[in-house]
Structure 1
């Protein structure tokens, strides 16, 4: 008579295999969970939950991010809420700061321990969508028995990381379902929307961080990424999203040393994407102002003399 191996036994057996961890990202996460964090897949304790005062401080620290994320969480939930899915936003430690879920599904997610204040870091919960997304800083799908804990194998989690204006990871966007009939095909279908929403939150947060700067959208081979540059009135690049930093070879994280936009983007081979965007912005401003340079300069938030210099550089001075 054959003996069916339990989930916990399969996890521990795989976690101890060096070859399995090298070949599979899920196995590598199981290895971290069991060996590095010392977790037991059969443990039945509920997820840790921080106190309300601590949750309040964490929310205050990311107040701007939460504000710009809110309508985008609403939009994502409007697409998946009727399918028994819930949407969660966490900080970089895996603590859930905001959520969208239906009243009917609330008790089920509460039983799973998915709610504001819950800590779903990989260190505490082993392999799971939120924790593994943050640990590996990439979008992940953790489907049912890919979870580390036996008590979590009924859920599916789809996650994407969110990066701050300084290029550092600040949290994760999670879509979870506790439906037993959730399929891997459905997960893959929804994953694209989760990633797109995360990038939209990232872009909105970046714009909110540089409200006084001109935001330029640059080209990237990653069509899903937010590739944005913040440029001040002196044509200095003072901010860049994580993808823009990668594209233009800037420091990966932290504050940028202000540099002329032309030095970063170059003009040797004719108009760049930046120059085209700048020229288009000036042309639009002039059109709105009926070719009144003073009014166009006011719309752009720069001085009249500065606009004349830019028009000359961009070949818009009529000479």
Structure 2
């Protein structure tokens, strides 16, 4: 099986490989750009304890914001033999959740803090390919580049920091077979968790600011469209999704933008986002607040301010 997988990977160079696009594109990057060998059985490179501590320190704010969501996500997927990893933008896990009974297996696979899962080092894999392509994806078993990784199934969503920069990834990995039919569900779960982490990190990066939610027309976003507005009604922060939706740059934010309260279009967009979340949650405020990445009390205030609580 390992030799057959290596032949499939190498066949993409001459166009004779299986139709696995966009996985095939990642295989080509692994072969041509990174010069990797699919039959290399060397374990993933691992940072020293000092190097890992430095990476964890740099990820401190996002790691702290992610803690509760990592716990909740593991509670949801751990019983299926999965572990949860939070990585930096180089594909190095800085935090993880796993069951003690499964940890020795995951440690042997390298699904551990300090391992380097960049595409440049490990070829096509959930973490590295998600970071390279900056989108939520699943790399399932023999879609991996290295033959030693074809027992893994990994679903990963990118994470962007409060300034809209790629900060890392959120990964759910399993070494057990039988997850083929769960790809769509798992991607939705992981993507939703990534949005919650980003939303919490964004709010904590702008303490005291008023947070404005924009309408989100793309269900697969890994970034929640949010603005931070200061006491002078000036926009001082925007998530990656908000920057894309409104074509915002750091320079535009430095020059100052009017708050949503001074722009009917933005207030209408926020009202639409809240209504959509409430509708999807069947009117359940707690569920809608979770989907939007805000507290229940904050959502109640928005509902009142936007006139959605009447009638």
TM-score band by shorter chain is 0.7 to 0.9
CA-to-partner distance for each residue in 1:172-214, whole Å, 9 max, x for gaps? 00000000x2332122221100000001101111111101211
Is 1:124 matched up with 2:129?
Answer: no
Q: 2:178 aligns with which of 164, 175, 182?
A: 182
Note the 1:120-199 alignment, pairs <5 A.
Answer: 120-179=117-176, 181-199=177-195
Distance 2:259 2:44 in 1: 51
CA–CA separation in structure 2 for the residues paired with 1:57 and 1:122? 21
Moved over 4 A (4+): 18-23, 262-265, 274-277
TM score, norm. by length of structure 2 = 0.81
Which residue in the other structure is 1:249 paired with?
Answer: 247
| Cα separation, 2, equivalents of 1:270 and 1:117 | 42
2:59 corresponds to which of 47, 59, 62: 62
Q: 2:229 aligns with which of 228, 231, 249?
A: 231
Aligned counterpart, 2:291: none
Deviation at 1:17, TM superposition (A): 3.5
Q: Which residue of 1 aligns with 2:82?
A: 85
Counterpart CA distance in 1 for 2:55 and 2:2 is: 44
Unaligned runs of 5+ in 1: 278-299, 301-313, 315-319
- Aligned partners of 2:199 and 2:133: how far apart in 1? 21
Contact 1:139 1:161 in 2 (8 A): yes
Q: Gaps (5+ residues) in structure 2? A: 274-297, 299-305, 307-311
Aligned to 1:204: 200
Could you give the per-residue CA deviations for residues 120-178 of structure 1, whole angstroms, max 9, x where no partner exists? 00000000000000001111100000000000001100000000111110000000000
For 1:22 and 1:169, locate their aligned partners in 2 and report how far apart those are by CA, in whole Å. Answer: 29
**Structure 1 residue 49: Cα displacement:** 0.2
Cα distance change of structure 1 residues 170 and 271 upon mapping to structure 2, 3 Å threshold: closer
Residues 275 and 112 (structure 1), Cα distance of their counterparts in 2 relative to 1, 3 Å cut = closer
1:304 — aligned with what?
A: none
- Residue in structure 1 matching 2:210, options 210, 214, 223: 214
User: The residue matched to 2:57 in structure 1 has which SS?
Assistant: helix
Would you say the 8 A contact 1:49–1:117 is kept in 2? yes
Q: Aligned-pair RMSD on alpha carbons? A: 2.7
Larger Rg: 1
Residues 265 and 132 (structure 1), Cα distance of their counterparts in 2 relative to 1, 3 Å cut = farther
Checking the alignment, whether the CA contact within 8 Å between 2:215 and 2:272 is kept in structure 1 is no
**Does 2:4 correspond to 1:10?**
no
8 Å CA contact 1:215, 1:230 repeated in 2:
yes
With the length of structure 1 as denominator, give the TM-score of the two structures: 0.79
> Are residues 256 and 19 of structure 1, via their aligned partners in 2, closer, same or farther at CA, if it must alter by over 3 Å?
farther
